[in-house]
Every structure is written in structure tokens, then in C-alpha cells.
Structure 1
Amino acid sequence: MNLQIIALLGQDGVSNGAIYALVALSIILVFSVTRILLIPLGEFVAFSALTMAAMESGRATSIGWLIMVMALAAAAADAWAGVRKQGRSVRSWKLLPMPVYALVLLILLAVLPLDRLPTLLQALLTLAAITPLGPLMYRLFFQPVANASGLLLMIIAIAVHVSLLGVGLLVFGAEGRRTAPFSDGVVELGVIAINSQTIWVLLASVVLILALFLMFGRTLYGKALRATAVNQFGAQLMGISPTLAGKVSFALAAFMCALSGILIAPLTTLYYDSGFIISLKGFVGAIIGGLASYPVAAVGAVAVGLVESFSTFWASSYKEVIVFTLILPFLLWRSLKTGSHGEGH
């Protein structure tokens, strides 16, 4: 192994680790606000990459139909909830925003020359298509059982993940796809050549992490989410809606994972079921951060990417085993540190 190989492996490890870091931060964000270990987060990454690839080929209306179906189902659920709670139907205009959004998105995907749009517009349309899946998923599957036990919420998350695999196969097909890189340039640093796509990944990840830091520290919505994460009941007494907090956290997580999919799509071929392994590696980073610390989780996720990259060189057949074995000492350490407590204690 020479310096060039080390630089190449390190470059791949850091770029993959940056993607895992965004997924890890999404996992912590959702868990801290809602107590849900959202396993299907990786599906947002895969769906985003495949949607971007479909746009480059001029065919992306299927994802629009998925958003439409989920939006109509969410509107029907809201209408039924209003009838059960108030004994009368909810005003129709309150049910319209998401179905109207889905209709506009579907029309845009059907009439625009997607394959001839600039890459930036394709990326924005992809984000517009994937991000709503987060709050819609929360409304349909988790909001009705928001106060359930953590075990039940995890079982529902697993069921949603399995369902999304079938939806992904139906919408995107079984073939793997990758997108064109944002740029083909190479930055030379002595004997080390850095791919410009890697720089895009790192810059976007750093900017997004800093934006999250500023949002949680400086904005009202960010402080409301932090309050909900610390004490959900106390936040509710202060007028902060747990339902709104759940939808916002799911929307932010979906946005971060959708952006991750756009960034990683030019670097590797993704399939409809690639999201699960990405979720697990992000989960390892989140566990390293104790499902609480964003900086530690980000560093842990980058470490996961580096270990994966170098394991590919030294022992490619065992790279997944090596990566997931990383979680064991951290679980043992945290178990010894906190002791064993059942839920509700």
C-alpha cells in the first residue's frame, strides 16, 4: 500500500462517511423528538438517487403518483380524525394543501423536459419529490400511535421499511442506476488527486450540518424541537405541538437523506433496496453518538466510512462484518455506564 492508494481509500471513506453522517444525524433527530428509530431513512437516500437518475432519463412521474396517493391518504386520515374527535367533518380547505402540492408536482414531472433540465433544477425537483415523504409517512403510520411503546414504534418502522422495499421495486424497478457527476474535474494536491464530486459531498455535508446547528441554536422552530426532545410533555404544556414537531423532524430527516442520495448517486450504483445497508451504517454512527450527540455521531459515521473503505482493500469479503462489529464495544460501554433499565423507568 502506497500513499496514492491510502489517499484514494481515504477519499472514498470520507465521502461515504459524510453520507453516513447525514443519515446518523437524521436518525438522532427523529429519535430524540419522537422516540422512533426510523429504519426506513435509508429508503429516502435510495429513492432520491433513483429519482434523480429517472429524471436524467426523462422518466420520473412514478414518484409523483406515490406522493399523490400518500397525500390523499393523509387527507382522508385527517378528515376521519376530525369526524371522530369533533363529531363533524373538517373544513375541506384544511385538507387541500398537500394534495394540491402533490398535483402540482405530478404535473411538473409530466410536462417538463426532465432530461434537458440543468442538474441544479433536477436536484431541486428531486428534493421537492422526496422530502414530503417524511411528514406523510409520520402522518399515516406513526402519528396515530405516537404515544405507544418504543417497541411498537420500532415494529411499525420495520413494517414501513419492508413495505417501502416493495414500493421501491414497483416504482423504480430492479435495475441499479447512477447519475452523472456534478463536475468531472480533479484537484491535484501533490501526488494526491481529489475527485471534484468528493468535494461536492464534503461541502454540502458541512454546510448542512452547520445549518442544522444554527437552526437549533438560533431559530424558534429549532428551539421548539430541542424542547420537545428534552421533555415532550413539558413542551406540550408550553404550547408546542408534538404532532407538528414530529412532522417537522421527519421532514428535516427526509430532506437530509434526499440530499445524501443526490450527492452519492454519481459515486456508486444504487438499487431500490440499497437504503437498508445505508441506514444500518448511519445507525452505527448514531449509536457511537449515544443517539444523543450530533458531533460524536458525525465523527463516528465518518470513522465507519473510513473503516469500510480500508476493509475493502484488506479484507473485502469481511468488510460488512468489520463495520458492524464496531457497534459492539460502544453498546457494551454504554450498557456498563448506564446500567440496565426497562422502558418507563
Structure 2
Amino acid sequence: MDFSIASVLLLDGITNGAIYALLGLAIVLVFAVTRVIFIPQGEFVAYGALTLAILQTGAIPGTVWLLVILAGVAALMNSWAAWQRLHQFSAAAKALLRTLVVPVAIAAITAWAAPRQFPLLVQALLSVCIVTAFGPLMYRVVYQSLADASTLVLLIVSVGVHFAMTGLGLLFFGAEGFRNPSFWDQRFQLGAVNVNGQAIIICTASLALIVLLWQFFERTLFGKALRATAINRLGARLMGISTHTAGSLTLAMAALIGALSGLLIGPTTTIFYDSGFLIGLKGFVAAVIGGLASYPAAAIGALFVGIVEAFSSFWASAFKEVIVFTLILPILLWRSLASGHSDDDH
């Protein structure tokens, strides 16, 4: 291996690590606020990339119909909860409409726009809107009633959601993989390294999104409410912060991050209906490096994972996944020895 090959591998590692950093931050965020180890994070990535791919063909993606069905179920649940609480038809109707209006509007706009072959950026925006809308609906249908369950129960439910989304992905997108067009085809020569525009977009967008997340948590009221919920759920509830609203907002942010990650990674590799699992697991490794608590450590861990993956693909391509996922073992051992043991309830 000479310097030019090492430089190319390092660039690939940083590019992939930028995606894993976003996924790792999303997993840390969801776990901190809701205590859910969010296994389906990778499915948001696959759904984002494949929804855009279907829109590119001029067809209506199946995620549109899933969004409408999920919105209908969530609306009925919210309406029934409002009726039980207030016993007023108007309150139940308002809850029904409030839940349906945004998802149905997104679905209707997408169904109208899909055959018209709008530019790539418009289709990308529609894809992000569709996948982001899944977040709060998924929290309402799956996780809200289990908010006080143990972490193990929430993990089992997350595994079930992952398998359900993977099966639906096969139904919606088929077994054939898709590769989306690049958002920027320009190439630049940087010494011995040939840098393409998509890699620049990935790194820039990832850095910008991380900065925006930091600003959100530091400067906005909603961000501070999420931080309070992550630190002490009971204390936040006593101070008037709705943990259900915090959970919905957290899942919406996770879905947004996943959708954007799918759009960024789509032009660099072929995405299949089940590709999100491996991508999400690498983000999970980064989150574990951060102890499922530290955002900076998760971001640094993601870059480390991306670089290890890139160099492993050169030295032992058949075992690169094994090498990456084996990283989690010494990290878990070190954290177990460093933090000691405590009861699950604490």
C-alpha cells in the first residue's frame, strides 16, 4: 500500500464515517429520550434512498400508502384516547384531523407529483417529507403505549419493527437494488486523490446537520425540553414537559436524519430493501462507542468505524463486516469494567 492508495481509503472512510456519524447521533438521541435502542434506524436510510429511486421512475412509491395507513391507525388511536379522556365528540374529531392532516397532505402531493417527473431536488424533498412523517406516527402506534416498559421489552419491539419494515420494503421496492443519481458530478484533483462532488456534499451536509442539531439543543425551547427528558424523564414530566411529545419529536428527528442519510449515500452505492440493517448497525457501533450517551464520542467513533471499514475492504474485503462489528466487543468489555454494574431498573 502506497500513500495514494492510503489517501483514497482514508477519504472513503471519512465519507462513510460521516453517514455513520449521523446515524449514531440519531440512535443516541432516541435512546437518551425514550430508552429505545432503535434498531430500525437503518430502515429509514433504505426507505429514503429507495423512495427517491421510485420517484425517479415516475411511479408512486409504496411508502406513500404505508404513510396513509399508519396515519389512519395513529389517528384512530389518538381519537379514542381523546374520547376516553374528555368524552366529547369534538375533541375526538380534532385529534383525528390533527393526526391525519400532515401525512395525508404529503401523500396527496407526492401522488400528484410522482408522474410529473419534477427535478431531482424536488423529488428528494418529497422523499424526506415522506420518511420523516413516519417518525412520530411510528412512535404513536408502536412505542407510546410502552413508554414505561423495560429496556429489554423496548428492544424486542424494535427488532419486530425492523423485521416488519424490511418485509414491507421488499413488498414496496422489490428485490432489485437501486442507485440514485449524484447531486453533484463534479470531480476535483487533490494531490493523489480524486475527490468527487458527492463526497463533498456528504461531508458538508453531515457537518452542517451536526451543527444544526447542536444549535437546536442549545438554543431552542424544544431542544432544551428534549435534553431535560433525556436527563430525567420523571423530573421533566413534573415540570410540565410531555414525554409523549418529546418521543414523537425525537422519532421525527431520527427519521429525518435517516432519510437525509439515505439520499446522501444513495448515489455512492446500490441500495437494496434490506441494506439499511447493515448501515444502521454500523451507526449502532458508533453509538456504543459513545456509550449511547455521548454525541461527540459517537461522532468520533463513527469516523473510526468508517476508516476501519475502508482499510479492511482493502486488506481483507471478505471479512470487512466481521472486523467492523468485532470492534464492539472490546468496547463493551471496557465499558463494562469501567462503569461497573447496576440493576436494570436504575
Q: 1:141 offset after TM fit, Å?
A: 0.5
Quickly say closer, same or farther: Cα 1:50–1:136, change in 2 above 3 A: same
Taking the aligned partners of 1:272 and 1:191, their CA distance within structure 2 comes to 36
AA at the equivalent of 2:78? D
Taking the aligned partners of 2:299 and 2:306, their CA distance within structure 1 comes to 11
Quickly say closer, same or farther: Cα 1:262–1:111, change in 2 above 3 A: same
AA at the equivalent of 1:212? L
Q: TM-score, normalised by structure 1?
A: 0.97
Q: 1:83 offset after TM fit, Å?
A: 3.4
For the pair 1:82 / 2:73, whether they are aligned, the reply is no
For the pair 1:201 / 2:192, whether they are aligned, the reply is no
Q: 1:330 offset after TM fit, Å?
A: 1.2
Q: 1:111 offset after TM fit, Å?
A: 2.1
In structure 2, the partner of 1:183 is 184
In structure 2, the partner of 1:8 is 8
SS of the residue corresponding to residue 91 of structure 1 reads helix
Taking the aligned partners of 1:115 and 1:260, their CA distance within structure 2 comes to 25
Taking the aligned partners of 2:115 and 2:327, their CA distance within structure 1 comes to 42
Quickly say closer, same or farther: Cα 1:34–1:12, change in 2 above 3 A: same
Q: 1:94 offset after TM fit, Å?
A: 2.5
8 Å CA contact retained: 2:128, 2:260: yes
SS of the residue corresponding to residue 316 of structure 2 reads helix
The answer to which of 188-197 and 114-123 deviates more is 114-123
Summarize deviations over 1:280-323 as a string: whole Å, max 9, x none.
Answer: 11010001011111011001011101111110110011111110
In structure 2, the partner of 1:220 is 221
In structure 1, the partner of 2:109 is 108
For the pair 1:133 / 2:131, whether they are aligned, the reply is no
Taking the aligned partners of 2:216 and 2:107, their CA distance within structure 1 comes to 31
AA at the equivalent of 1:33? V
SS of the residue corresponding to residue 187 of structure 1 reads strand
In structure 1, the partner of 2:280 is 279
Alignment of 1:40-55 (within 5 A): 40-55=40-55
SS of the residue corresponding to residue 217 of structure 2 reads helix
8 Å CA contact retained: 2:61, 2:172: no
Summarize deviations over 1:30-59 as a string: whole Å, max 9, x none.
Answer: 000000001001000000000011111111
The answer to which of 305-314 and 110-119 deviates more is 110-119
Q: 1:87 offset after TM fit, Å?
A: 4.5
Taking the aligned partners of 1:190 and 1:339, their CA distance within structure 2 comes to 48
In structure 2, the partner of 1:318 is 319
Quickly say closer, same or farther: Cα 1:260–1:115, change in 2 above 3 A: farther
In structure 2, the partner of 1:328 is 329
8 Å CA contact retained: 2:10, 2:307: yes
The answer to which of 144-153 and 74-83 deviates more is 74-83
Taking the aligned partners of 1:115 and 1:329, their CA distance within structure 2 comes to 52
Q: 1:195 offset after TM fit, Å?
A: 1.0
AA at the equivalent of 1:187? F
Give me the CA root mean square deviation: 1.3
In structure 2, the partner of 1:339 is 340
SS of the residue corresponding to residue 267 of structure 2 reads coil
Q: 1:113 offset after TM fit, Å?
A: 4.9
Quickly say closer, same or farther: Cα 1:81–1:206, change in 2 above 3 A: same
Percent identical pairs in the alignment equals 50
Taking the aligned partners of 1:191 and 1:151, their CA distance within structure 2 comes to 49
AA at the equivalent of 1:17? G
Summarize deviations over 1:37-95 as a string: whole Å, max 9, x none.
Answer: 01001000000000011111111342111100000000011122233444455431222
SS of the residue corresponding to residue 194 of structure 2 reads strand
8 Å CA contact retained: 1:34, 1:146: yes
8 Å CA contact retained: 1:55, 1:115: no
SS of the residue corresponding to residue 193 of structure 1 reads strand
Alignment of 1:64-83 (within 5 A): 64-83=64-83
Taking the aligned partners of 1:196 and 1:115, their CA distance within structure 2 comes to 27
Q: 1:28 offset after TM fit, Å?
A: 0.3
AA at the equivalent of 2:304? A
Unaligned residue ranges in structure 1 (runs of 5+): none
Q: 1:115 offset after TM fit, Å?
A: 6.4
Matched pairs, number: 345
AA at the equivalent of 1:214? Q
Taking the aligned partners of 1:3 and 1:171, their CA distance within structure 2 comes to 44
In structure 2, the partner of 1:173 is 174
SS of the residue corresponding to residue 131 of structure 1 reads helix
